[in-house]
Chain A
């Protein structure tokens, strides 16, 4: 399928989009906390993927390659937009999206309160399960910075989402 898409087969690429859209849109939702913006960015990332897919050397690594495209799209978005201005609009957007659960809203709000690069590292670590070195490779940040971002971000999320820790603890002891 990936090899066909690399050769310019649009139907194959459409199938890849269909299979990966949920994952990529969820990833962008965690990055920006805004479902509408997340869908726009996911669309941009897929378009960028279509532009450059012919240069994909290892079709088996399509997933990690697409993630890198997504991270670059997000970093580009951060460079071109005032992150603080966007953060102001998040609450209204969440209210308008019926598919977002309370926990997801709280998580996205907590993530939005982090500095953009800290949030990026946290999402890549917790959502994508990447190691610090892999995150450093994908974001271009030094491994030491990634480590401190994740440590600081985790501590902040722990404070902001303390209510979920308390409610989940009795379940785990059962």
Chain B
């Protein structure tokens, strides 16, 4: 690949390149940099406040929902007469076991398709 340049155009480029005085340019750039940093800090503080407010608002309903959810997950799928056997098989004979099995199957399918 030839890289020849026209000498006249080359010299024209070289001669027209003036040394530009700063004239407050650097100060303007740094003001923008400072503004951007302030905006960044403000955005972080706002996000933090929203997160805390959200947590306060949602914490109570979540706290109330946990026992109900926990009770629902331990509901046995099949009623067994023997209480000892019921306790022993609880990890498998429950809604939670079905949820875990479902999630495992989804993960397996995802890996087969995209893995």
Whether A101 contacts B12 by the Cβ 8 Å rule is: no
Instruction: Give A155-172 interface residues, CB cut-off 8 Å to B.
Output: 157-158, 161, 164-165, 168
Whether A107 contacts B16 by the Cβ 8 Å rule is: yes
A126 to B12, CA, bound (A): 9
Tell me which residues across on chain B come within 8 A of A17, comparing CB atoms. Answer: 25-26, 29-30
Whether A101 contacts B29 by the Cβ 8 Å rule is: no
A17 to B8, CA, bound (A): 31
Q: Judge whether B13 is part of the interface by a CB distance below 8 angstroms.
A: yes
Whether B18 contacts A101 by the Cβ 8 Å rule is: yes
Q: Judge whether A43 is part of the interface by a CB distance below 8 angstroms.
A: yes
A14 to B28, CA, bound (A): 10
Closest to B2 in A: A147
Whether A43 contacts B28 by the Cβ 8 Å rule is: yes
Tell me which residues across on chain B come within 8 A of A103, comparing CB atoms. Answer: 12, 15-16
In angstroms, how far is the closest chain A Cβ from the Cβ of B46? Answer: 20
Whether A161 contacts B12 by the Cβ 8 Å rule is: yes
Of the candidate stretches A22-30, A54-62, A78-86, A87-95, the one touching chain B is: A22-30
In angstroms, how far is the closest chain A Cβ from the Cβ of B13? Answer: 4
Q: Judge whether A73 is part of the interface by a CB distance below 8 angstroms.
A: no
Instruction: Give A7-60 interface residues, CB cut-off 8 Å to B.
Output: 10, 13-14, 17-18, 21-22, 25-26, 30, 39, 42-43, 46-47, 50-51
Number of A-B contacts (CB under 8 A): 84
Whether B32 contacts A43 by the Cβ 8 Å rule is: yes
A127 to B22, CA, bound (A): 20
Interface residues on A, range: 35 or more
In angstroms, how far is the closest chain B Cβ from the Cβ of A151? Answer: 10
Q: Judge whether A139 is part of the interface by a CB distance below 8 angstroms.
A: no
A168 to B16, CA, bound (A): 14
A73 to B18, CA, bound (A): 22
Question: Chain B, 12-24, contact with A by CB distance < 8 Å: what is the 0/1 string?
Answer: 1101111111100
Whether A125 contacts B5 by the Cβ 8 Å rule is: yes
Interface set of B (CB-CB < 8 Å, partner A):
1, 3, 5-6, 8-13, 15-22, 25-26, 28-30, 32-34, 36
Interface set of A (CB-CB < 8 Å, partner B):
10, 13-14, 17-18, 21-22, 25-26, 30, 39, 42-43, 46-47, 50-51, 99, 101, 103-104, 107, 125-127, 131-133, 143, 147, 154, 157-158, 161, 164-165, 168
13 extra interchain contacts, Cβ-Cβ under 8 A, other than A17-B26, A18-B22, A99-B20? A10-B30, A10-B33, A13-B33, A18-B26, A22-B19, A22-B22, A43-B25, A47-B32, A50-B33, A50-B36, A51-B36, A154-B6, A158-B6
29 contacts between A and B (CB under 8 A): A10-B33, A10-B34, A13-B33, A17-B25, A17-B26, A17-B30, A21-B20, A21-B25, A21-B26, A22-B20, A43-B32, A47-B29, A47-B32, A47-B33, A50-B33, A101-B16, A103-B15, A104-B18, A107-B16, A127-B13, A131-B3, A132-B3, A133-B1, A143-B1, A154-B9, A158-B8, A161-B9, A161-B12, A164-B12
